[in-house]
Chain A
Amino acid sequence: MRHAWTNWLGNHQAHCAAIVAPTSTEQLVEILDDPRRRGLPVRVLGGGHSWSPLVPTDGVLLSTAGLTRIRGVDRDRARITVETGATIGQLVEVATRNGLSVRSPSMYLGLTVGGLVATGSHGTGREVATFGDEVVGFELVAADGTVHQVDAPGSELWRAVITNLGVLGVVTAVTLQCEPLYNVHESHARVDVADVAALLPAVLAEYEFVSLFWHPMSRQATFKLGNRSALPAETVVGRIEPTLRDRANGWLGRLLPHVATRVPGLAAIVGDAIDAGLGSGGRVVSEPYFSHYQQSYPKVISSEFAIPIDAAPPAWSWLSQRLGQYAAAGVRPVDLVVHARFGRASAALIASSSGRASCHLEVLSFAGNRQRELFAGEFQATMQDRFAGRPHWGKDIFDPWQATRGYGEDLERFLAVRHELDPDQRLLNPFLRDEVFGLGRRLRPVIVATEQPANDDGGRGAANDAGATLRRVA
């Protein structure tokens, strides 16, 4: 008998031997014994919100839905220890109650902590990289049931874990570095899309938090900007529980994909509505209110690349011009929004923003947009070839064979750590093993001790404190 699983969007399915949801680390260790004896592969399942097929396996799906406890809050050091099945909503609620702000969280609250760490997901902000970069300690259960407790950042293992794709083991809990709860003065600016590239450097210099939205049928783009403010917030502290407007957006989100691709012009209206949903700015709001402006996901498909932040203006120019050319031909492969966020370099080995401050450039289309694939390949090729882009692991990846381009030696280091923890390759699925890492076509790894090369980790301090690192030598 097989157990059927489908992700949130319905674009990935699995027929697996079992779906299990342990409620404690001890139970997880016990559960791992069975697939190990039977030689079954294991994949970790968070919220199932990835667009890429990270989760599907024909072995055992190990859900973190039962691992949702907050293990501890250290107000003095502004740290929260949370199990990885908890949602960002649960985490933010606890953080807010304790006067803390979560760093680099996703805007959508329904994602899980483990999912964000696994995929190198991120928020926006000059001083933050990925959500995983804020992990200062973690508990990892390896494929053989060994429990690794790490309580300091910087080691090679830590750099692998903070964007781990679920291929190192099961990260059951993380300790996150937060900061005291703060307020943000939020501003919005509508500018001509042709002027965005020229304005970007100045905007990034002026504002700590920058997001950019553009509906490809509109001539104007919207900057959502923010700087920290000492003034009191004009809003409620958090926006964690969905408001009526959020619920309405959720209902619309379910409805619109069915009609948006059938009714000409409706997608443009939706885009404007989204812009309107961002609010008008010009007020001081609490950080959670500023960060979590989206409470539900419509049925969309997203593809995102992190490019060096200096490449953002030319990349934006190319993207806007190219989509304009498509539009002139009556083709609308991106019918929802183009979205850009900005952050500093990640210390992770294989986060899309590893080693460099990045612009995260994202295109979103309604699910069912058949014109999307016309552009998806070109988008990936251009982002990678012209702008040294790297794909977001959780978003749709058109050509996974090319996904690991641009990581150089760090990819080999990640695979070496992976090989140490899971030599039998039981934590991989065909997508990751064959299409992303191409492990079936690499020469067998030889592990030797070596010095860690210098790495621009964005000031995070990724010095290797775990002794000799692992290096793959073909």
Chain B
Amino acid sequence: MSQRPSPFAPYVVPDLRGLAQLGVPDGAWFARLAGSQLRGHAVAWLRRVGERVPGADGPLRRLVAALEHRLVPEDEVAAGPAGDAEFAWRRIAGVDPFAVVRPATLDEIPAPLRLSDAVLLPLVGRTSAPGAGAGTDELAARVAAGDIYLVDRRELAWRTPADLQPGRFVAATAVLLCHAPELDSRHSLVPLAIAAPRGSAGAPPEVFTPHVGAAWRAAKRMVEVADVHAAELTVHLARAHMMTVPFAVALRRSLPPQHPLVRILGPHLRFDPFLATMAFHQGVAGRTGALVRSLAGAPRWSQDVARTLHDRLSFRDQQLERDLVRRRMADAPIDYPWRDDGRLLHAAIAHLVAELVDDAYASDAALARDPHLRAFVDDVIDRGGIRGLLAGTRLQTRDELVEIATQVLFVAGPLHALAHYGTARRLRHGAAEPAWLPGNPLAPGTAGPDARTTAAQVQRVLGTDIRGDRLGDFTGTALAEHPASAPALAAFARELIAIEAEIQRRNHARPCPAPDLLPSRIPNGITV
């Protein structure tokens, strides 16, 4: 395996020469980008003006609000500090659906969160039985029943203040949730406790329960901000961009343009190298990158968080069902949009890919004989550094190729859309949803970011809130011009329409809508 040229590889694309090979988007894409940048600046300016306009509902304030409304359509999902039900829902249906696990034993729960019976019972609507105290029988019983859920953000732990940018704060948090449908709750999951540090670097986490009033609110705020960081660094960068770039590069480097895999994967990865290169130089490199300015971490720390996870990830283990099983979420008796809506999308993509692969390779033997495909796989593994791509040592069967290609499309489409647009949708609320905090909110007197900071946050997220195309729309691609693909594409389009209706139906019944996996909001691939 070749040595990586950069501590942040494979984000960097070292072997490409010239823009043509990078897959530069067309003029329409740049026009949309320019439009979104203008819109971001305009909304940020309106936000700053709005802050200075006196009167909560005066005519000037209404004018500013109306102008902003023209630029940013109203969101169906609420912003701001949420109640406990909404807080629990966000942990499951938020922008990082990978953090939640169902522990099988008490040992899998961080020690501070192993709540005693005396603490736990009142949190689930029961009075403490006589003698209930320091024991953890109730928690153990609920863990055994599969009712306990843990959202652990330990990857955000920082060691020295230099890990963070001056005046910015984020912390590793852990949240314990309980499935308790017998409670008078709007969501069957109720939060039990949050472990969060009260102090600065190296401070041990303290446990906060809903009984502690203002501290509970502050701890929830810390969790929300940690969510944004985890979504950006571990989902958006590590699981989406860093996972797909090696495929996009190998597609250009190791396959001839007429190769069937180029036809299948191409529409989904066409802008990927260009965007990854641009994102690295303008996003995560140095102190001026947009992503760095959006988050609390110092550039090196942020890169380390993303890289550490990426290095640990196995491609196969991240397959939707395997990942759900690993986290014991495959059959969790809760509404879990990543699993429930994701399965619909994953199945539809798998159907499409299976048809296309069958069209490309008449048999497994034909596939095994394809030297270009072998070179492509070697490129992804050896030069791209993707771990766990294959079940064995060689790609031998069409089924395995279908699984790999399905996962690439699923990551480039739904997963990236959830991370990018989901985070943007949330952060565009500004002050109500800050991306970072000026200090630990558990310390008395710590205020939120100022108006200028949150306006800049809105500007950044709106400035990249564009979609290059739409899932299932292959207009102008080689796939659309390949006659044998037409039935599969038509069937895929029909499936997406049905999925759209089904998710809309589910959203009506959910505590809050989960709109980010609606097919109409997902591009074919990473287009921004």
Contacts and interface: CB of A to CB of B under 8 A. Distances in A.
Interface of A: 1-6, 13-15, 17, 19, 21, 38-40, 48, 58-59, 63, 65, 370, 373, 398-401, 425, 428-430, 433-435, 438-445, 474
Given A444-B184, A445-B184, A429 B445 contact: no
B434 to A, nearest CB: 12
Contact of A440 (B73, B190, B211): B190
B81 interface: yes
A439 B185 CA distance: 6
A2 B429 CA distance: 7
Interface string B48-89: 001000001100000001001100111110111111111000
A422 to B, nearest CB: 12
A430 B82 contact: yes
Interface string B78-121: 11111111100000000000000000000000000000000000
B186 A440 contact: yes
A48 B57 CA distance: 13
Contact of B84 (A399, A430, A445): A430
A400 to B, nearest CB: 6
B35 to A, nearest CB: 18
Contacts of A435: 210, 213
Contacts of B213: 398-401, 435
A39 B508 contact: yes
B128 to A, nearest CB: 13
Contacts of B184: 439-445
Nearest to B178: A441
B84 A434 contact: yes
A65 B72 CA distance: 28
A435 B124 CA distance: 14
Contacts of B73: 1
14 contacts: A4-B56, A15-B80, A15-B432, A19-B57, A58-B80, A58-B82, A373-B444, A398-B213, A401-B213, A430-B83, A430-B86, A434-B84, A443-B125, A443-B182
A440 B85 contact: yes
B123 interface: yes
A209 B133 CA distance: 50
A474 B126 CA distance: 10
Contacts of A6: 56
A15 B444 CA distance: 23
A434 B210 contact: yes
A152 to B, nearest CB: 31
Contacts of A428: 83
A443 B183 contact: yes
Contacts of B186: 425, 440
Interface string B341-364: 000000000000000000000000
Given A15-B80, A441-B122, A1 B183 contact: no
A442 to B, nearest CB: 5
Given A1-B65, A1-B74, A398-B213, A442 B83 contact: no
B431 interface: yes
Contacts of B445: 370
Contact of A5 (B56, B86, B183, B431): B56
Given A1-B74, A425-B186, A433-B85, 8 more contacts: A1-B68, A1-B69, A40-B78, A58-B432, A399-B213, A428-B83, A434-B84, A441-B122
Nearest to B186: A425
A188 B84 CA distance: 49
Nearest to B46: A1
Given A430-B86, A440-B190, A1 B72 contact: yes
Contacts of A443: 125, 182-184
A442 B56 contact: no
Interface residues of B, number: 39
Contacts of B81: 430
Contact of A3 (B65, B182, B431): B65
Contacts of A4: 50, 56, 431
A398 B213 CA distance: 8
A14 B80 contact: yes
B20 to A, nearest CB: 41
Given A15-B429, A441-B183, A434 B56 contact: no
A440 B183 contact: yes
B66 to A, nearest CB: 9
B432 A440 contact: no
A440 B84 contact: yes
Contacts of A14: 80
Contacts, number: 99
Interface in B412-447: 429, 431-432, 444-445
A440 B83 contact: yes
Nearest to A373: B444
A1 B73 CA distance: 6
Contacts of B76: 38
Nearest to B212: A401
Contacts of B122: 441
B477 to A, nearest CB: 35
A400 B431 CA distance: 25
Max count, chain A CB within 10 A of own CB: residue among B56, B80, B82? B56
A425 B84 CA distance: 13
Contact of B83 (A399, A434, A444, A445): A434
A219 to B, nearest CB: 32
Interface in B506-525: 508
A5 B62 CA distance: 12
B431 A15 contact: yes
Given A2-B432, A4-B50, A59 B182 contact: no
A58 B79 contact: yes
Interface in B400-418: none
A456 to B, nearest CB: 27
A434 to B, nearest CB: 4
A428 B184 CA distance: 13
B429 A401 contact: no
B212 to A, nearest CB: 8
A35 B208 CA distance: 33
Given A1-B72, A17-B74, A58-B80, A441 B190 contact: yes
A401 B211 contact: yes
B217 to A, nearest CB: 8
Contacts of B210: 401, 434-435, 438, 441
Interface in B29-51: 50
A58 B78 contact: yes
Contacts of A370: 444-445
A331 B79 CA distance: 39
A17 B50 CA distance: 16
A444 B86 CA distance: 18
Nearest to B124: A441
A442 B78 CA distance: 25
A1 B65 CA distance: 8
A140 B432 CA distance: 32
Contacts of A21: 57
Contacts of A401: 210-211, 213
Max count, chain A CB within 10 A of own CB: residue among B75, B78, B122? B78
A59 B78 contact: yes
Contacts of A5: 56
A1 B62 CA distance: 12
A444 B183 contact: yes
A15 B434 CA distance: 13
Max count, chain B CB within 10 A of own CB: residue among A19, A425, A434? A434
Nearest to A401: B211
Given A373-B444, A440-B84, A441-B210, A15 B79 contact: yes
Contacts of B79: 2, 15, 58
A128 B182 CA distance: 42
A434 B192 CA distance: 12
Q: Which 3 A-B pairs have the closest CB atoms?
A: A430-B83, A58-B78, A15-B432
A398 B212 CA distance: 10
Max count, chain B CB within 10 A of own CB: residue among A19, A40, A400? A19
A425 B186 CA distance: 8
A13 B75 CA distance: 19
